[in-house]
Chain A
Amino acid sequence: MTLAFALRGSNGLVLGADSRMSGPEGTADTSTKFLQLNREIGVLTYGLAEVGYNAINRLYDEVNKSGTFTSGTNQRVVHFSEIAQIAETIFKETFAIMLSNLQKENSTITPDDPGLTTGFILGGFDANETNQFKILHWNSPNFEREERADVIAAQWHISQFLSDHFYYSEMDVEQLKRLAVFMLIETETISTSVGGQLKLATVTLESGFQRLNEKDIQDLICECQPRFANYRRILLERLRV
């Protein structure tokens, strides 16, 4: 599994994921779980790496295929709602293809098998229709679209606990970045299927989709160090009275 999330704040979004890939042969911290689709929209995946990777790459190609705005054919897809519609189709198709291949080898496999859990999060700014930052979520087996202010998926229990205690929608992107690092590091301490390099990106009106580089993330981790200690101290104070 993995930890993947999108948090909406007052002036933008923070998208995050770890980079661990787990399988029968062990784990590798090399997984690419999110992609930038255009200036202000990104997509994240979790669960089955093969389906997720294929689907988000196909979506990227579909959104960025060459064409002109005036020709009417191969027109570039730019609006959030259009991208969401295409994404839904691609996610469903890619999952169905994988399922049918698996069922050829083992006919007892069903789409709701927990081992096949796959999901996607689309986050970005909807400049065309609502003028808002949006987070959409799809999860196997039905891939029904769900819109939320925050989505925390896959190995979500610990991060959801943290989000319930720290997150509020008025937080700005800078504060959300700190929360995102905090959630990833704290989840790693217990869940062995979450780990490796942390991947974070922000979406703001001014800068669009911006992936944080390794140094930025390292700086955030360093900045959060006193918070880890402080957090533990507060928990001990309040829960051991």
Chain B
Amino acid sequence: MPGFVITLQTMNGTVIAVDDETSSDRISGIYKINEYNVAIILFEYKQAVDFCNEHLKKFSSGGNFNDIVKTAINALQQTQQKYLDKAFSIVFASVDPRGFSSAWHAIWMQNNVPQSSPVTSAGVYGAAYQDLCEYIVSKTYSKYMSLNETIDLVGYILLQCNKALRMENNVDIVTLSPKGIEKLGSEKLISIISKAESVDNVLKKDFSDFFITLQEKN
């Protein structure tokens, strides 16, 4: 299964959905740097975790987001030989504990050259799912949504991926808010998917006569 990551930023936090595959050839995942900073690994999970362990452990008790990103960029530049021809790609996400702002920055290897750039507010990664996820996000998402609305939206996207693409693996949903990092429990996940299912049924009802003209109805 390809790595699957959706990240949606909101005004009061961030929702991250990532596949929870446990196999040795796992591709993507979340690495917790500290309570308010995470590294979202898009490819080469094992190698990226080693990278984080080696260079970012010192921030485990706290640290400024800019320092974390700067350290990571420097480390990638110094050790780039290790990542030649690898799809090395990490997105750093942070939230201000006072709730004022969140910050995002990505580092990756492109043509064997380290790159870094701030990230936009929505990201969907995962070849097989990307177009469907991006489509639903493009129709509905706004960064002014609340954290709960965004969690529900991610739940709806996951439901559609499950239906259309028969995703075999489960997906973890993690929120990064002023309260810190929180992984949603399985009960909460079930309730989100169940809510998405009922919303989907309502949508189907809404769309049941969508292509029938008034003339045809009469």
Q: Which residues of A contact B (CB under 8 A)?
A: 155, 157-158, 160-161, 164-166, 168, 171, 174-176, 178-179, 182, 186, 189-191, 227, 230-232, 234-236, 238-241
Contact = CB atoms under 8 A, between A and B. Distances in A.
Contacts of B78: none
Contacts of B207: 165-166, 231, 234
B153 interface: yes
A234 B202 CA distance: 10
Q: Interface on chain B toward A: helix, strand, loop, or mixed SS?
A: helix
Nearest to A193: B131
Contacts, number: 75
B199 A175 contact: no
Contacts of B136: 161, 239
Nearest to A174: B216
A232 B136 CA distance: 10
Contacts of B132: 157-158, 161
Contacts of B165: 157
Interface residues of B, number: 31
A227 B203 CA distance: 14
B211 A171 contact: yes
A125 B179 CA distance: 62
Nearest to B156: A239
A227 B210 contact: yes
Contact of A175 (B129, B145, B164, B211): B211
Q: Interface on chain A toward B: helix, strand, loop, or mixed SS?
A: helix
B163 A234 contact: no
A231 B134 CA distance: 17
Nearest to A171: B211
A234 B199 CA distance: 11
Interface string B198-218: 011011101110111000100
Given A157-B164, A158-B131, A165-B203, A190 B156 contact: no
A239 B211 contact: no
Contacts of A186: 135
